[in-house]
Structure 1
Amino acid sequence: MVNSHGRFVWYELMATDVEAAKAFYADVVGWGAQDASMPGFAYSVFSIGDAPVAGLMNLPEDARRAGVTPHWMGYVGVDDVDAAVARIQRLGGAVYVPPTDVPNVSRFSVVADPQMATLALVKGLKPGLAQAAELNASGRVGWHELLAADWEKAFAFYGELFGWEKAEAHAGAMGAYQQFSAAGETIGGIFTKPPTLPLPFWLYYFNVGDIEAAAKRVEAGGGEIHYGPMVVPGGAWIVHCTDPQGAIFGLLDRRRRPIGYFIPRDPSDAPGR
């Protein structure tokens, strides 16, 4: 994992029905699934062709009893997991899973920032397993977005932790949207979440070639569309969704449309209605 410090290198879906999750994401995003289980631990890998994209596992029973629901989690590469965890604690964050070794795979920790958005840290992910740094590639994770309680405080935390730097910024209906870069590449954005959302969280966008068709597949598969399709600055189109088990994710279509292009969700949404 060359130059992986501060970059998202892996993603995992924790689900209550892994077979149903495989079928849903195969239809919506086009992922295949390969078994990667170890003794006593069932695990699958979503893939595009032979290229791994993300992991899939059962939501642990103790987590279910604690009220944790299916969710996506991103892993950020770090040079030293233990040092990064200590820094998180000094900066006011929390540690849910202390630094732990996965034999012959990695050392990782599950943490939360001071506003309680969860993510994982990892070092030593096996070559060939880490997410390639190809934000535009079909079926890959193309964008990382933090819906924070306070975007400025959140950015200060992640800048101190990972060395992220400010990139382009713009103002929209929901206030300031600050993009951030790692190792010189813009990989995501941070903004202050609407008050209707109870908790801060990280949202991961999967690249699709036709967002209208993908949104229809989400709904046909039992998922739900919460926002979009909607154009964002730069001309890309996005959708916010939940899968049938309640895990939140985004879809991203980077194709530019003609000026004035509009995607009606239903006839009453069309301009002039």
Structure 2
Amino acid sequence: MKVHGKIWWNELLTWNAESAKSFYADIMGWSYRPLELADKSIYWIAMKDGAPVCGIYQMSSPVFDGTPNFWISCIAVDDINRAVQHANSVGGRLMHGPFHSDYIGEVALVTDGGGAVVAFVQPKSDAGPA
């Protein structure tokens, strides 16, 4: 199955993961599964009816200083390097990456032609994040 061009994952980057988890648990009925990252921080997988729905990441200083809380969509691409190159050629701009995520695959943050930030993801598999 081809995944290129599909919304692959959504993620909240926040300064207060515990508050965000409580907020969305109350409204959406989400539960959370912790995932320990390489730096020993915890990434929270939000679950609904036993299936993953999104992630919540706790931002920290100094890397994210000055960054507000935000949601980001991740769009699947077949080839991360080709997608970044193409984005650059049609008015986009590479902001960060590509970098490897053990959880999801290869990731790059880019701006589109209008300046909106989006993540391109070359997934580890076609099965989707779990």
Normalising by structure 1, what TM-score?
A: 0.44
SS at match of 1:75: strand
Please name the residue that 1:42 is paired with: 42
- Whole-angstrom CA distance in 1 between matches of 2:61 and 2:20: 17
Paired-residue identity, %: 28
Deviation at 1:63, TM superposition (A): 4.9
User: How many residues end up aligned between the 2 structures?
Assistant: 128
1:77-116, aligned counterparts within 5 Å? 77-103=76-102, 105-116=104-115
SS at match of 2:129: coil
Measured against aligned partners, the alpha-carbon deviations of 1:72-129 in whole angstroms (never above 9, x if no partner) come to: 0000000001000001111111111121112364011011112110110011245351
Measured against aligned partners, the alpha-carbon deviations of 1:110-163 in whole angstroms (never above 9, x if no partner) come to: 111121101100112453516xxxxxxxxxxxxxxxxxxxxxxxxxxxxxxxxx
Measured against aligned partners, the alpha-carbon deviations of 1:23-43 in whole angstroms (never above 9, x if no partner) come to: 000011111111012231321
Measured against aligned partners, the alpha-carbon deviations of 1:180-213 in whole angstroms (never above 9, x if no partner) come to: xxxxxxxxxxxxxxxxxxxxxxxxxxxxxxxxxx
Give the superposed CA RMSD: 1.7
Q: Partner amino acid for 2:4? A: H
Would you say 1:72 and 2:71 are equivalent positions? yes
Normalising by structure 2, what TM-score?
A: 0.89
Based on CA coordinates, which of the two structures has the bigger radius of gyration? 1
Please name the residue that 1:53 is paired with: 53
Deviation at 1:71, TM superposition (A): 0.4
Deviation at 1:15, TM superposition (A): 0.7
Residues 115 and 104 (structure 1), Cα distance of their counterparts in 2 relative to 1, 3 Å cut: closer
- Whole-angstrom CA distance in 2 between matches of 1:104 and 1:19: 21
SS at match of 1:43: strand
Residues 51 and 73 (structure 1), Cα distance of their counterparts in 2 relative to 1, 3 Å cut: same
- Whole-angstrom CA distance in 2 between matches of 1:75 and 1:103: 15
Residues 125 and 11 (structure 1), Cα distance of their counterparts in 2 relative to 1, 3 Å cut: farther
SS at match of 1:83: helix
Please name the residue that 2:14 is paired with: 15
- Whole-angstrom CA distance in 2 between matches of 1:96 and 1:62: 17
Residues 28 and 104 (structure 1), Cα distance of their counterparts in 2 relative to 1, 3 Å cut: closer
Give structure 1 regions of 4+ aligned residues with deviation exceeding 3 angstroms: 125-128
- Whole-angstrom CA distance in 1 between matches of 2:28 and 2:63: 27
Q: Partner amino acid for 1:58? A: Q
Deviation at 1:49, TM superposition (A): 2.2
Structure 1: segments with no counterpart, 5+ residues:
131-273
Q: Partner amino acid for 1:109? A: A
Please name the residue that 1:6 is paired with: 5
Q: Partner amino acid for 1:3? A: K
